[in-house]
Amino acid sequence: MNNISIQTTNEYCATGGGISRSSFKGQTLQESPDLGEKVRELFDGSGVQLSTKNVTFARRETVFLEDDKADCFYEITSGTMCVFMAMADGRRQIVRFASKGDIVGLTLLDRYELSVETITRSTAVRIRLTDLIEKLTMSPQLAKNLLTYVSEELIDAHQKMLIIGRKTATERVATFLWAMAQNGQRAGWREGQIRLAMSRSDIADFLGLTTETVSRAITHLRQVGIISCVGAGRVFLKDAESLKELALGFEA
């Protein structure tokens, strides 16, 4: 069953760090590569009409900011983004990293409650949020799918609170690497292979630490033989069991 209507257009967003706005090049190519797999899942069986566009973002570009008018959401098709909340003085907490298949910007409110920016050059499918709430009332299936989606995010969020609030620096980094290894496996990478697209500073903002502390924790894990690194972005998991124990807090 796949009765979603999809109109697709391509668009290049090069807004130089500002908020991405349509550049309306008039292209209306009817492509549909691997675009919107997750969105298909969510909207499948709903009978809802979706108008989508393929968009591209440069590295370290803002996708949208907290309190911006929420007009679109995105399913990432390539690259990595981070979803974060910031304080007036610049301190920020990254709530999650998002990559292929993940959705960002999906909200019921009329303004985004979080900011999103790219870490690497990224592509995404952009979908209008227009009347999402009305659509919900019309399609129980859609509402149910979205509820499942948000519920999963909530469980994730709760676990992250425990990580940030109650774990030591090494435990936090171990937990993070463990999760990244799991991600990798789901994406079909070689066992134990971890690719970190984000900087140490991003990881720090994700774990509630500083760049230096993250670096030291990784160095420590390397010295005790749990991981090995080649460059900053390529990590190999040598002792998965110990990493997991550390992550869970068993005083390794």
Among 142, 200, 205, 226, binds DNA (CB under 7 A): 200
No. of helices (H) and no. of strands (E), the chain: 7, 12
And the tokens for 187? 């994406």
Cβ neighbour number for residue 84 with a 10 Å cutoff: 19
What is the residue whose two structure tokens read 């973002």?
57
Which residues, 202 to 231, sit near DNA by CB under 7 A?
208-216, 218-219, 229, 231
Among 128, 149, 199, 239, binds DNA (CB under 7 A): 199
- Which of DNA, a copy of itself, none has residue 138 at its interface (CB below 5 to 8 Å by kind)? a copy of itself
DSSP letter, residue 167: -
Shortest distance (Å) from residue 211 CB to a copy of itself: 14
Residue whose CB is less far from a copy of itself, 108 or 187: 108
Strand partners for 73? 127
Site string for a copy of itself, 86-115 (x = CB under 8 A): -xxx-xxx-x-----------xxx---xx-
Q: Is 31 helix (H, G, I), strand (E, B) or coil?
A: coil
And the tokens for 208? 């509630």
- Which of DNA, a copy of itself, none has residue 211 at its interface (CB below 5 to 8 Å by kind)? DNA
Question: Residues 6 or more apart from 167 whose CB is under 8 A from it?
Answer: 175, 249
Strand order in the sheet with 115-118: 62-64, 115-118, 80-86, 92-99
Q: Of 19-27, 34-42, 68-76, 154-162, which part binds a copy of itself (CB under 8 A)?
A: 154-162
- Which of a copy of itself, DNA, none has residue 85 at its interface (CB below 5 to 8 Å by kind)? a copy of itself
Q: Are strands 5-12 and 49-57 parallel, antiparallel or unpaired?
A: parallel
Distance CA(238)–CA(250), nearest Å, equals: 18
- Answer yes or no whether residue 159 interacts with a copy of itself by CB under 8 A: yes
Q: Of 13-21, 71-79, 134-142, 220-228, which part binds a copy of itself (CB under 8 A)?
A: 134-142
- Answer yes or no whether residue 16 interacts with DNA by CB under 7 A: no
Among 16, 26, 165, 188, binds a copy of itself (CB under 8 A): 165
Distance CA(101)–CA(78), nearest Å, equals: 8
Q: Which residues bind DNA (CB under 7 A)?
A: 168-170, 199-201, 208-216, 218-219, 229, 231-233
